[in-house]
Structure 1
Amino acid sequence: MSSPRLYLIDGSSYIYRAYYAIRHLSNSRGMATNAVYGFTSMLLKIIRDEQPDYLAVVFDSRGPTFRTEIYPEYKANRAAMPEDLVPQIPLIKRVVQGFRLAAFEEPGYEADDIIATLARKASAEGLEVTVVTGDKDLMQIVDERVSLLDTMKDKRFGPAEVGERFGSPDKVVEVQALAGDSSDNVPGVPGIGEKTAKLLIDQFGDLESLLSRLDQIRQPKRRANLEQFADQARLSRRLVTLVDDLPLELDREVLTPGEPDREQLTELFRECEFQRLLDEFSSDPQAVAGSYRAVLSEADFEQLLQRLEAAERFCFDTETTGLDPLRDELVGLSFAVEAGQAWYLPLGHYYLGAPPQLDRELVLKRLAPLFADPEKGKIAQNAKFDALVLHHAGLTLEGLVFDPMLASYLARPAAKSHGMDAMAAELLGYRPIKFEEVCGKGKNRISFAEVEIERAVTYAAEDANITLRLAEILAPLLEETGQEKLFREVELPLEQLLTRMEITGVRIDADFMAGLSREFSDKLQALESGIHQLAGGPFNVASPKQLGEVLFERLKLPKGKKTRTGWSTDVEVLNKLAEDHEIARLILDYRSLAKLKGTYTDALPKLIHEESGRIHTSFNQAVTATGRLSSSDPNLQNIPIRSEEGRRIREGFIPEPGCLMLSADYSQVELRLLAHMAEETTLKEHFCSGEDIHRRTAAEVFGVFPEMVSDEMRRSAKAINFGVIYGISAFGLAKQLGIGRKEAQEYIDGYFARYPKIRAFMDKCIAEAKEHKYVTTLLGRRCAVPEIDSKNGAIRGYAERNAINYPVQGSAADLIKLAMLRVQRRIDAEELSSRMVLQVHDELVFEVPEGELEEMRTLVKEEMETALELDLPLVVDVGVGKNWREAH
């Protein structure tokens, strides 16, 4: 029978290895977790791969050791522990506790001394000892029963392997006494490295024998160094020799790995947001679950109604036949009043053998007052979707008090997802039932209406229960992170406004779009003919493979770059070629026009709702890093405004008969916010005087009178003004303006010389990001910058540019949201019929009855320009027209 095996993990060595192995990992609060995750993964690998009988993790203790007492310079050259590693050490020790493993730490001694002591005792008791480390100092304890395992190199060191390097394990300290150790600042003897030291010890046996026979050293300089630094060598030997007789007990019961403390690990992994580990070590998955009931009888329904009517607030969720809330049908509703209990009310399940369900009209009629009561608090995940579903079913949602998705978006900006499943895993340590597990996927996917009610109950009721539990966790987190006010006063009311806007939709002229599509087709054919003529023959212009072969093999154009699938023909490559080759310019025009045709003129008419006759885009509130809204299905925020074709598309957006389109757009809002936030007096004065800011900046940077500024100077100043917000580099500016990098750097230097507080503001933003892993907007919104300390220069540079840009862009996002809310409140207060239909970056678009035009023009401008109090005026340009293009 083999001997019992003890594994001793050099915890301090493991910590640093884990830290540097995974450099970029943090939780949603910006707390670094890379070392914790790496350490845990390495620890689990040892446990699973090696399956030790006994296991202990050994750590260095804080404070001085006996070695620093005899030699204060010992390890003095080591850099301080990285700042983001320091707070991870207690978490790593909690990992060890959570896995119920023995841990050792001894004041005044190093982990190596503890390991040496435990290994000697264990070896004497007949155990086989494996020391998990990459530290060569521990090679001195290797013998027939003690070996080292370097998991990073996947190599084991026994006596033979140590002998290859040092001669034998008992020679390790002798060699190190001579060679020293630069990593630990052990001095050794100058001029003697490890190879020479090994030769000397091989010849003389040990340090003292060598020092007593120096007359046999033939090299004069080496002999002189050994004579002069003999005491230093003896000191070095004391420093590298491990203590193996510490008063430690080898208690096999303590060293036996126990069952993991899942409750402790769940709490820790939830704090660190380790989803994979949470899935594996969740303390009790069923603890999050609860008692779920189907509501199939009138008595059950009455009981549910009584609970909802008595409750101060309730959580609800909807189940539908699809993902389009304004087209798909309501299948059922789930409710939760307190954590652990939930009901599912099926209304539209149809399958062979489906039980009778309550009358849909009657149920919705009874529920309508509850949903419409503004005093009855409602909680829902991604509540806008559910509000739209209810609207489509004939119900109105009022009284929304909490949406976990929005709360997470504000309180946990670095979280990878604010979806319910991801939050449940990270915050509750629970994996909810996935939709695919109930409805299948791909060609086998069925509608939720076809799911058996018995299965639907658990899935649907669980959603309401989990959402309620998430709300209970996230509510105090909003307070803790200072996001409560932003949540209550901006994001939550905005969600309800966006619901109204999505219900309203925007009207398009389908006939105009069809005509424009035909026009684009003619232009595409003409472009294709021109491309074929320049290419010397026909080919598929839309095929990147064929295009690459034509450009770089047939035409032999320069600057081609290969990818795994062939020649690259991306925008960067084509833009470079377009400087000298007409075919590249035509290809760029072709691609741009084809995208407009496919994305807008062909697609938009197909999205017109059959009942409303309008298009209903989705405004996404919890996606971007800065708080900006995005638009999808269709995306109406990316219609190009600079190209004539893009502007033509906007002609197709029209109002109802008797109405006009009104567009209100903030003028240079990010520059104004930058001037305010940086407290740059000169720039603020330019805005206050109403000057052309780009012309004035050009005058400042180039040292001329404003009247002498050329169009080229103004263009350069405009590029600098907007580029600064995005942390533009000399390289980026040079590329944008087509000038040399040195000249571009001079422009930037001139800019900061005239506006020094902007440079100070940028430095402040980067410092804030480095301290907190996030930056803040004027309203206190946190924008995560988790990669700010990346060792990768490109990643770190990108993060630094974001740290500069996010506070400004995020403040602009906050501003437009405040403006939307203020404008809508005025419209409601004055009982106007005008409707807000679109939000695109810094622009709001309204459909306005002709009789309300002047009132709306004044109202919108007033509310937008006073939405935020700044040290300089906000300016809004208002336009009116028969279509969006005319208005803008």
Structure 2
Amino acid sequence: MTTKNKKLLLFDGSSLAFRAFFAIPNFDTFVNKNGLHTNALFAFHSMFKTVLDKEAPSHALVAWDAGKTTFRTEMYGDYKGGRQKTPAEFREQMPFFNVMLDAFGVSHYGLVNYEADDIIGTLAMQAADQGFEVVIVSGDRDLIQLARPNIRVDITRKGVSQLEPYTPETIDEKYGITPQQIVDMKGLMGDSSDNYPGVTKIGEKTALKLLHDYESMEGVYDHIDEMKASKRKENLINDKEQAFLSKKLARIATEAPVEVSLDDIVRQDIDVQALMTFYKDMDFNQFMSQLLDKTDNQDLLSEDWEDVDYHYLSQADQVSAELFSADTMALYMENLAKNYHEGQIEMVAWGSKDQIYVADANFILKQADFQIWLADVDKKKVVYDAKRSQVMLSKLGLDFAGIQDDVLIAGYLLTAKDLSKDLAELAHEFGIDQLAFDESIYGKGAKRALPEDQETMASHLARKIAAIWQLQSLTQDQLASNEMLDLYQDLELPLAKVLAQMEIQGVRVDRKQLETMQAEFDVKLGELENDIYQIAGHDFNINSPKQLGKVLFEELELPVIKKTKTGYSTAQSVLEKLQGKSPIIDYILDYRQLAKLQSTYVAGLQDFIQEDHKIHTRFQQTLTTTGRLSSADPNLQNIPIRSDEGRKIRKAFIPSHSGWKIFSSDYSQIELRVLAHLSGDDHMRDVFQAGQDIHQSTAMKVYGVDSNAVSKNMRRNAKAVNFGIVYGISDYGLSQNLNISRKEAQSFIDAYFESFPKIEDYMDRVVQEARDKGYAQTMFNRRRYLPDIKAKNFNVRSFAERNAMNTPIQGTAADIIKFAMLAMDKALKEKNLQARMLLQVHDELIFECPEEEVPVLEDLVPEIMASAVDLSIPLTVESSYGDNWYDA
């Protein structure tokens, strides 16, 4: 490698990772399937990959701070003092940065007693001396002191997406000094972020003037006697010692005892498989798709690829019962649509362990012997996604029975991961690498299509059948050894059939009601627009942050709360802080809320109404780590209910027949009741058994007041911490939820545990059990393995402990409503009722029934749901009914 081609890229990991966390402030929207916050990793990755691709370095390293104690803290004990405690949501992400860097082939390094800056300074100077071009990337302007003719320092502006380059020329243009004089400037003015003082009352402007006159801090003090008497001179004299100390603190070490050489940090090739695994673990689907676009997918497969023997049936072949004579056979039906309620089955594969068949769907699905086999309950089938299979066949009028195993559900229970997008993901999870990803066969996005070569698709499906058989053997053995067969056979597998029936049934939606609401919302939005324009004094684009920011902060002169790289922030959190400053704020907040309801639900739901006037949502059974069900296409669990306008959307959900009613039943505070049962806390048990308000009781306990003294705000805070405890909330998370300081939030959490000591004891106990067993589990043996529960790294260990605490609570609550759904399905059939279960939304079950069956359901549903499982705490169920979901 010639000197001309040598380029060293140095990343200030500690600075950039922290900035990345705050670059995406809505951290709770960036959480992977395992509950890990991923906002910092996501933002860091975006910036890191962009710079890596742009600079194309021959050598690269990400430097990390090795700890809070350095040679600078020995010099000055308050160095970097006063900084707030690092948010737990950021700490839990830290161990995964190096996992990402390893996959990218980029070195990383930390040095005890030194900061990342010192590692960068030392390597930068070494490389510059050897003729390298050096690029430094940081969020800390202190590093611009390292700029040299062949060293460029790029500093992040707002967030991490934009970089501002610093060279000796740009520093001279901006400050009128050299890079080496930056430490003199810092010595005079100090640094509030690093908490060293400088000279009293000297800021950047004054420091620069002194350096323009005297060149260095030493020059300033050499000429101190020549200065006129002034308060500034007095401060310079009085603070001389701390000024020189500050200069020492500001100077980046360029001869630190760094143990890595330039030869050690040569940039390596990307480890495609490792990077793909990282993306999957973090749920970074966008990045995974980009990687697939640029990668030969064969790289993602093992080298020991073996062809699978199969027989392709054509129109000329004779189809007979002999093809389906085996007692147990595997089946997969290929449908390229993202939503299996749409599209069509293109090709079908089935077979035993000894013989696999593949046929075009238009041919095989019409064969009588195939249809008979599908419907025969005694002919056992092993599938990947039983619910999907049942729904697709039902749409063709075909019965499907005899499902013995579903490897998707089994794999989900064993891994607690969403592996529903591609059978290859599930196969790779269990070490079966001989199966290509669907995207490598069909493409993705707009390019997704059948391959031109039919044999390619047939071979792919044959391999899927082989993979299903391998997975069936592996997963059944593991379920048995993990004592999860009952959970699998008695709950999840039969639930798939119930959910399929609910999806097939669908829920009727009154399009006219939505159209009427759409027209009403248009009128209200117009009125709000006029109110906003009247206060502003002119029309403008309310949806443009730039135009809105100009109106609010320049024309109306409202206080600026936050700025972004493009101007004033007009985010929801900013506007909420401005409430009461001007009536326009309330109008804008109302406008935004209504506009979102209009686009996402009132208008958006209409796109999902099918020809039968129903919406057929997909219940996602294998998505969450807690076992909770969710829905998609559309997501009916997220229809807002906190505003009256949001609740009214439910008016459009109506019974399928005239004279029928919508009937709703939901559990009351099920997770807190599970917590009371599992913890055995006497106070919490007494509250529930007496039928009292748990949030009011908590407020009384924590605040030490009687019931009459509990304010709405006190109850609100108590409610937040009650549910926060279930989710392992930190002081930072609670402070964000309640808009209070982290100190206040921690005090509230401490007071809560003092009031409910058995809950804290329970949390400690489940963490210890997880350490002993290596996993946490629900009452029904749903497991979540926690291999990091004994990790030496504090951040890794803390994240595992948090999962150990909340898994039994959330998972048990999820299991309970699933048992209730099975019991309800059985009861409705046994009593020969016409009532049908339509939806499951969080802790609520929604039915439709003839009006004459309402009294039956009023007794039956609460009884079934309350007795679904046996707890020491009563499960309370509230029911109601009406002409639509809103009235119910």
TM-score range, shorter chain: 0.5 to 0.7
User: Partner of 2:601: helix, strand, or coil?
Assistant: helix
C-alpha deviation, 1:325, in angstroms: 3.3
Q: One-letter code of the match for 2:305?
A: Q
Q: One-letter code of the match for 1:470?
A: L
C-alpha deviation, 1:484, in angstroms: 2.0
Equivalent-residue separation in structure 1 for 2:436 and 2:738 (angstroms): 54
1:393 paired residue number: 396
Equivalent-residue separation in structure 2 for 1:789 and 1:551 (angstroms): 52
1:373 paired residue number: 376
Equivalent-residue separation in structure 2 for 1:409 and 1:603 (angstroms): 31
Equivalent-residue separation in structure 2 for 1:531 and 1:840 (angstroms): 36
Q: One-letter code of the match for 2:653?
A: F
Q: One-letter code of the match for 1:529?
A: N
Equivalent-residue separation in structure 1 for 2:439 and 2:548 (angstroms): 40
Equivalent-residue separation in structure 2 for 1:481 and 1:410 (angstroms): 10
CA offsets, 1:663-709, max 9 Å, x none? 00101111111100111122112211112222322333333443554
Asked whether the 8 Å contact 2:33–2:624 carries over to 1, the reply is no
C-alpha deviation, 1:771, in angstroms: 5.8
Q: Does 1:617 align with 2:617?
A: yes
User: Partner of 2:311: helix, strand, or coil?
Assistant: strand
Equivalent-residue separation in structure 2 for 1:543 and 1:791 (angstroms): 48
Asked whether the 8 Å contact 2:425–2:437 carries over to 1, the reply is no
1:296 paired residue number: 314
Q: Does 1:308 align with 2:324?
A: yes
Equivalent-residue separation in structure 1 for 2:281 and 2:730 (angstroms): 35
C-alpha deviation, 1:298, in angstroms: 6.0
1:858 paired residue number: 859
1:325 paired residue number: 340
C-alpha deviation, 1:480, in angstroms: 3.0
C-alpha deviation, 1:536, in angstroms: 4.3
1:597 paired residue number: 598
Asked whether the 8 Å contact 2:432–2:467 carries over to 1, the reply is no
Alignment of 1:117-128 (within 5 A): none
Asked whether the 8 Å contact 1:405–1:419 carries over to 2, the reply is no
C-alpha deviation, 1:654, in angstroms: 0.7
User: Partner of 2:624: helix, strand, or coil?
Assistant: coil
For 1:424, which of 422, 427, 431 is the aligned residue?
Answer: 427
Asked whether the 8 Å contact 1:279–1:430 carries over to 2, the reply is no
Alignment of 1:10-21 (within 5 A): none
2:634 paired residue number: 634
C-alpha deviation, 1:406, in angstroms: 1.2
Alignment of 1:632-671 (within 5 A): 632-655=632-655, 656-671=657-672
Distance 1:308 1:790, change over 3 A: same
C-alpha deviation, 1:601, in angstroms: 1.1
Alignment of 1:328-477 (within 5 A): 328-338=343-353, 341-348=355-362, 361=366, 363=367, 365-413=368-416, 419-441=422-444, 444-446=447-449, 448=450, 451-477=452-478
Asked whether the 8 Å contact 2:619–2:629 carries over to 1, the reply is yes
C-alpha deviation, 1:842, in angstroms: 0.2
2:304 paired residue number: 285
**Count of paired positions:** 625
C-alpha deviation, 1:722, in angstroms: 2.3
User: Partner of 1:839: helix, strand, or coil?
Assistant: strand
C-alpha deviation, 1:847, in angstroms: 0.4
Equivalent-residue separation in structure 2 for 1:277 and 1:790 (angstroms): 36
Equivalent-residue separation in structure 2 for 1:675 and 1:420 (angstroms): 39
CA offsets, 1:2-61, max 9 Å, x none? xxxxxxxxxxxxxxxxxxxxxxxx999x9xxxxxxxxxxxxxxxxxxx9xxxxxxxxxxx
C-alpha deviation, 1:753, in angstroms: 2.4
2:481 paired residue number: 480
Asked whether the 8 Å contact 2:665–2:845 carries over to 1, the reply is yes
Equivalent-residue separation in structure 2 for 1:537 and 1:633 (angstroms): 40
CA offsets, 1:333-370, max 9 Å, x none? 1112116x42111133xxxxxxxx56x53x1x322221
Equivalent-residue separation in structure 2 for 1:667 and 1:768 (angstroms): 29
1:868 paired residue number: 869
Asked whether the 8 Å contact 2:319–2:369 carries over to 1, the reply is no
2:90 paired residue number: none
CA offsets, 1:277-315, max 9 Å, x none? 99759665333x41122111565522xx41422x22111
Distance 1:732 1:417, change over 3 A: same
- Structure whose CA Rg is larger: 1
C-alpha deviation, 1:768, in angstroms: 4.6
C-alpha deviation, 1:439, in angstroms: 3.8
Q: One-letter code of the match for 2:324?
A: L
Q: TM-score, normalising length from structure 1?
A: 0.63
C-alpha deviation, 1:583, in angstroms: 3.5
Unmatched runs of 5 consecutive residues or more in structure 2: 1-31, 37-57, 59-106, 112-121, 131-272, 283-287, 289-294
Q: One-letter code of the match for 1:286?
A: W
Equivalent-residue separation in structure 1 for 2:707 and 2:110 (angstroms): 68
Which deviates more, 423-432 or 398-407? 423-432
CA offsets, 1:580-639, max 9 Å, x none? 4543433332222112111111122232221x2211000001111211111110110001
Equivalent-residue separation in structure 2 for 1:133 and 1:559 (angstroms): 39
Distance 1:366 1:277, change over 3 A: closer
Q: One-letter code of the match for 2:642?
A: R
1:683 paired residue number: 684
Equivalent-residue separation in structure 2 for 1:473 and 1:838 (angstroms): 33
CA offsets, 1:458-509, max 9 Å, x none? 1222222222222222221222333222111111111111000000000111
CA offsets, 1:789-844, max 9 Å, x none? 78997887666544433321221111110100011111111121110000000000
Asked whether the 8 Å contact 2:385–2:406 carries over to 1, the reply is yes
1:500 paired residue number: 501
Q: One-letter code of the match for 2:649?
A: I
Asked whether the 8 Å contact 1:383–1:403 carries over to 2, the reply is yes
Distance 1:436 1:856, change over 3 A: same
Q: Does 1:826 align with 2:827?
A: yes
Cα RMSD (Å) of the superposition?
A: 4.2
Equivalent-residue separation in structure 1 for 2:594 and 2:787 (angstroms): 38
Equivalent-residue separation in structure 2 for 1:281 and 1:630 (angstroms): 30
Equivalent-residue separation in structure 1 for 2:108 and 2:854 (angstroms): 77
Distance 1:455 1:685, change over 3 A: same
Q: One-letter code of the match for 1:382?
A: D
User: Partner of 2:834: helix, strand, or coil?
Assistant: coil
